[in-house]
Amino acid sequence: MEKAHRNLVRWAIDQGYTVDVWGEDEFQDYRGTDFSEAVENIEACDGGTIYLNNADGETVAWFSYIFDYDQNPDEIINDWGINEVSDAWDKQYNNLRGK
């Protein structure tokens, strides 16, 4: 099963969103549509926020993440703003997980 943060980035890019990664919520570490680069920047920090932006550059959803040592289950998305975009991601992810 693909981990939530990886699924989120893949899903967002497939939906046409640009991904912003703010590691430790202090600096914008990445902005773009490259899966590997986005995931690398997410996994380089202990926590932060992933923002999804539409073609106009407007933020349409945000997701907080945190890595904890020996986290079980290893789902690092720990919070998000609730709207139609985040609900669509959550629904498809839970469908993949059989929930």
Report phi then psi at 62, rounded to 5: -140, 150
Taking the C-alpha atoms of residue 96 and residue 3, their distance in angstroms, rounded to an integer, is: 11
Alpha helices in 31-83 (DSSP H): 35-43
Q: Tell whether the model's pLDDT for residue 93 goes beyond 70.
A: yes
Taking the C-alpha atoms of residue 94 and residue 22, their distance in angstroms, rounded to an integer, is: 25
pLDDT band at 97 (very low <50, low <70, confident <90, very high): confident
pLDDT band at 73 (very low <50, low <70, confident <90, very high): low
Contacts of 90 (CB under 8 A, 6+ apart): 80
Taking the C-alpha atoms of residue 1 and residue 16, their distance in angstroms, rounded to an integer, is: 23
Q: What is the pTM of this model?
A: 0.92
Q: Tell whether the model's pLDDT for residue 1 goes beyond 90.
A: no
Half-sphere exposure of 16 (CA within 13 A, CB side): 5
